[in-house]
Amino acid sequence: MITSVDNPRVKELAKLQLKKYRDRFKQCLIEGHHLVEAAQAAGLLEHVYVLQPEPDYPNATELSEHVMKKITQAKTVPAVIGVCKTTLPDTIGERVLFLERIQDPGNMGALIRTAIAFGFTSLVLDGCVDVFNAKVLRATQGAIFQISVSQQDIKTFKMRYPTHTLYAAVPSAFDNMPARPNGPFCLMLGHEGQGLRDETVSLADATLTIPMQGFDSLNVSVAGAILMHALSCKPIFKDD
């Protein structure tokens, strides 16, 4: 058991709370049984640390509660913490979610979960919160390990994948009712307060807005869920 916060391994683990070290070591910390199991299923789990011996992790290293507090960012000390590789696949599938300048970890996590639910297989990020931030990882509930992730702006994406139809989510759509996609497509969502950049919208093949009454905007994760469902063409009612 490791009982000292001055232990060299503990100091290295604590560094993973910072993005620059996650990027350098290509590792992150995941907290709780659900995330550890998801990372293990994805083949990305490298090592496990526990408060007390657990039969599911016979090779885990025990940490005292004092040490576990040092390396966790959660309010409640988790029973298990894993070290996970951050080398997710970066392939581009037929359904792509492009996120620009999303800053809130909760929104990012909710959007990733929703994307998985509606069959989106690729996530493209431009200037967003780190998906390996502890709060984002908790919010994804393990969904982060089920989607490919790449970093690029929409201009680069459009040049590399010209067959994808680009749909931009905007407060007021230029196209009243654009056609549903019948091939590869990319839904673009922007910053919580400012939305997509004008230059990003200008590259879209079509714009989308959500008709509503009494309000002029929705939380980006809510708007994203509505639009992803609409684009996924999955009916809810028998007569849809």
| Average pLDDT over all residues of the chain | 93
Rounded mean pLDDT, 36-59: 95
pLDDT at 172: 75
Quickly list DSSP for the chain. Answer: -B--TTSHHHHHHHHTTSHHHHHHHTEEEEESHHHHHHHHHTT-EEEEEESS--TT-TTPEEB-HHHHHHH--SSSPPSEEEEEE--------SEEEEEES---HHHHHHHHHHHHHTT--EEEEESPPPTTSHHHHHHHTTGGGGSEEEE--HHHHHHH-TTSEEEEE-SS-SSSSPPPPSS-EEEEE-BTTTBS-HHHHHT-SEEE----SS-S---HHHHHHHHHHHHHT---STT-
Least confident of 70-79, 110-119, 129-138, 214-223: 214-223
pLDDT for 132 equals 97
pLDDT, tens digit, for every residue of 56-68? 999 999 999 999 9
* Domains of the chain with bracketed CATH: 8-85 (3.30.1330.30), 95-232 (3.40.1280.10)
- pTM of this prediction? 0.92
**30-39, 85-94, 126-135, 164-173: which range is least confident on average?**
164-173
- The rounded Cα 173 to chain-centroid distance in angstroms is 26
Q: Return the percentage of the chain with pLDDT > 70, whole number.
A: 95
